[in-house]
């Protein structure tokens, strides 16, 4: 039986998290990020909104990071909403990692007083759209012709999940 442990992510986890994220970015096509993250980026993001962010990590029995998720304030959202992002290790999607992360994230987001979550997904990211749809997120806005840092132009879909 496959065991997935979910726990709060901390600064000491950022190296493995960055490696996982950079593998996804290097593969391309699913995240709006197009440039690889440096070693301090996730550390800095974790410190952005003290007491207002959720960072959770999924790992196996050997302590290998399988994925992580965060929910935090965003300048384009009201104070009662958090922006959610999910990253699952290549080759580990569809195995329950995202489900376990989401269970923990919604619990923690409610404790912080959020009433809804926003997910903004590339319109060409079928697996991401399916993941959030399967969690109960509903489309509420489409942002057309978004230019990514590498010049790629994509539409983005905003989905909402009421807590």
Per-residue pLDDT of the chain (163 residues; tens, 9 = 90+): 478 999 999 999 999 999 999 999 988 777 888 788 888 999 999 999 999 999 999 999 989 999 999 999 999 999 999 999 999 998 877 778 999 999 999 999 999 999 999 999 999 989 899 999 999 999 999 999 998 888 889 999 999 999 9
Are the beta carbons of 85 and 132 closer than 8 angstroms?
Answer: no
Q: Assign residue 94 the CATH number of its domain.
A: 3.40.630.30
Number of structural domains in the chain = 1
User: Which residues are registered as beta bridge partners of 107?
Assistant: none
The enclosing H or E element of 56 equals strand 54-59
The two structure tokens encoding residue 85: 């992002």
Range of the domain at 68: 5-115
- Per-residue pLDDT, 123: 93
Residue partners of 52: CB distance under 8 A and separation at least 6: 72, 73, 82, 112
**Helical axes 126-135 vs 97-111, angle rounded to 10°:** 50
Residue 80 lies in a domain: yes
């Amino acid at each position: 039986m496959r065991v997935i442990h979910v726990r709060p992510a901390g600064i000491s986890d950022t190296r493995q998290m960055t490696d996982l994220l950079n593998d996804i970015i290097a593969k391309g096509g699913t995240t709006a990020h197009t440039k690889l993250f440096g070693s301090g980026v996730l550390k800095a993001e974790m410190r952005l909104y003290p007491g207002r962010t959720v960072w959770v990590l999924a790992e196996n029995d050997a302590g290998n990071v399988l994925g992580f998720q965060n929910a935090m304030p965003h300048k384009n959202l009201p104070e009662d909403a958090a922006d959610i992002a999910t990253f699952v290790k290549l080759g580990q999607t569809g195995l329950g990692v995202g489900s376990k992360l989401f269970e923990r994230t919604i619990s923690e987001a409610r404790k912080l007083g959020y009433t809804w979550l926003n997910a903004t997904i590339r319109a060409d990211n079928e697996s991401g759209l399916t993941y959030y749809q399967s969690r109960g997120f509903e489309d509420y806005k489409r942002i057309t012709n978004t230019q990514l840092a590498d010049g790629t132009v994509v539409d983005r879909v905003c989905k909402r999940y009421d807590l």
